[in-house]
Structure 1
């Protein structure tokens, strides 16, 4: 059994249930997670109230520092949700339109990219390849690189399909969206997110990870060796993933983010409708949209070396689940259907991410 941090909180706030039922439900959630292999933190909220929050395992194995709900983790591709929101903020202000060709805003792009729309970049239907598909990209992720230099590495690569006709997940498309945000707003990407999203929502433990940044309560990343033992994950130059995977956060801050989305903060109703309207591959603007057992489920996962993250939402039930981990690969993903089953009063719920 993995180590269960003493910061675990079981707040029985399911208003529709009796105290005994709520306690039983909290106990079942704790049992499922304690028997998993999770090293990280979890938060589960319903109707804006925390019903479960806990840390598991160690944030730093060498110093024997436990993970807690206040621990900061790299969140990988969950970053894309904030990039998408930034685009919608700029659209609401009349500074761009998601139907615009990206070349209308970013001058330094190849001809093959110039007519790609912002909408196509948001929904991974642009035809731009994924960053991991470029030979040598992963091996050079520790090399300090500017956003412009990162984008230029893909300029000579052909589109993998006619824009708008297919779906291929592309981190590069989100790098280009980050550049679009910088050009249109006149503000560095991380500063725009901080002033327009993190500060208004009280997300004080979220930001862009950089080599020079010293973070209190930062988790170290680990990878499992073939033997199963944890070893230090290779570090990378996080700004190389700007717009697509360069942020860190806590489960508590991501719960604030999810609640703000439920309450329709930050942008217009029209923008929210666009955010959750899936295109090919069931992908909308920074969210995967699924219909599961009659319920709409919104989700996204993320991963960089040594870290995994998932963010699940069931809007109709106002249930949000965030799991952040600092050991990869994690086999704890199999517990997510059990968690939803407990929360919904069912045996399980078949979710995927």
Structure 2
């Protein structure tokens, strides 16, 4: 099995880490290529990657935890928790935000936004870039993927809990399941085993542009390792963090097969991908079979979703 799985990855010019788990057994756990080309550092299971929008799965869990603590209700209006929102957002609920049906525009749709991503700012300042824009559709009527909606949810988490987004996730998710190599990325601190991000260029790669990661809080700002994401998968399977009822709600699709921070696939799996400057990632979980495929690359774009699907096909062959 390991040789077949390894052959799938080797067929691609892949740089990153792959972890395939079935019933807690590691079928493949391996690094490929370099985490840092300039310093000749190879990838390893402890290599830290920016996981991009996989962050949304943790934001959704944080909201579910606060709901179980009685500090918020998923179906309540956003205005109950953030009264300063614009008038045309008043019909938006937390569930709309979680399921990408709020109608709020994706900040990357704004002209010139990508040119400002290296500038120091907060996610609240990022949200301000879209508040004057009309909604794509009335809340609850149309699926429209929006990282901005999850930036808003991070503000709700902070307001309701009285803690920073990072502090709340560490106390209620990372620490309880021993995710010791996961956190909110920031360009200033020295982060051991951090992978550098690259972009394809000609027959090689170049350094990807720097992003000031706090602007993506709640929607794409976390870093993690393959090993920590395997712990995340195990905790979700064990029901360690929330009740079965909340778990089922989190994975119940609304529109376009998107649930609460997760995309539900017809074959009985759930997944989320991540794409941020220099990094492409995917986490694929088969709920009834205890199979998880994690593919993390420090090159963007990279065929991480295709690799994950091919690996899953080998496991189920």
TM over 0.5: yes
Quote how far apart the aligned CAs of 1:137 are.
1.3
Match of 2:281 in 1: 309
Distance in 2 (CA, whole Å) between partners of 1:321 and 1:235 is 28
Residues 79-121 of structure 1: CA deviation (Å, up to 9, x unaligned): 0000000000000011100111011001221111133100000
Helix, strand or coil at the partner of 2:288: helix
Alignment partners' CA distance in 2, 1:236 and 1:135: 17
CA distance in 1 between counterparts of 2:30 and 2:212 reads 29
Residue in 2 that maps onto 1:335: 307
Q: Give the 3-state SS of the residue equivalent to 2:118 in structure 1.
A: coil
Equivalent of residue 56 in structure 2, options 80, 91, 101: 80
Deviation at 1:214, TM superposition (A): 1.1
Which residue matches 2:262?
A: 287
- Deviation, 1:150, is 1.5
Q: 1:167 aligns with which of 143, 155, 169?
A: 143
What stretches of structure 2 of length at least 5 have no aligned partner? none
CA distance in 2, matches of 1:115, 1:213: 40
1:261-290: per-residue Cα shift (whole Å, max 9, x none)? Answer: 001111111110100000111000111001
Matched position secondary structure for 2:176: helix
Question: TM-score if structure 1 supplies the norm length?
Answer: 0.88
Aligned match for 1:233, one of 208, 212, 215: 208
Offset, 1:335: 2.9
Q: How far off is 1:248 after superposition?
A: 0.2
CA distance in structure 1 between the aligned counterparts of 2:306 and 2:76, rounded to whole angstroms: 40
Q: How many residues were matched structurally?
A: 317
Runs of 4+ in 1 over 6 A off after TM superposition: none
Contact 2:273/2:282 (<8 A) preserved: yes
For the 8 Å contact 2:295–2:308, the answer to whether it is kept is no
> What TM-score, normalized to structure 2?
0.98
Partner of 1:157: 133
Matched-pair contact (CA < 8 Å) for 1:37–1:332: no
Deviation at 1:332, TM superposition (A): 4.9
Deviation at 1:75, TM superposition (A): 0.2
Q: 1:34 aligns with which of 2, 7, 10?
A: 10
Give, in whole Å, the separation in 1 of the partners of 2:182 and 2:22. 22
What is the distance in 2 between the residues matched to 1:308 and 1:141? Answer: 17
Structure 2 counterpart of 1:299 = 271
Between structure 1 and structure 2, the one with the greater Rg is 1
User: Structure 1: how far apart are the matches of 2:313 and 2:123?
Assistant: 42
Match of 1:320 in 2: 292
Aligned mates of 1:170, 1:331 — CA distance in 2 = 22
- Consecutive unaligned residues in structure 1, runs of 5 or more: 1-24, 346-353
Cα RMSD of the aligned pairs, angstroms, is 1.0
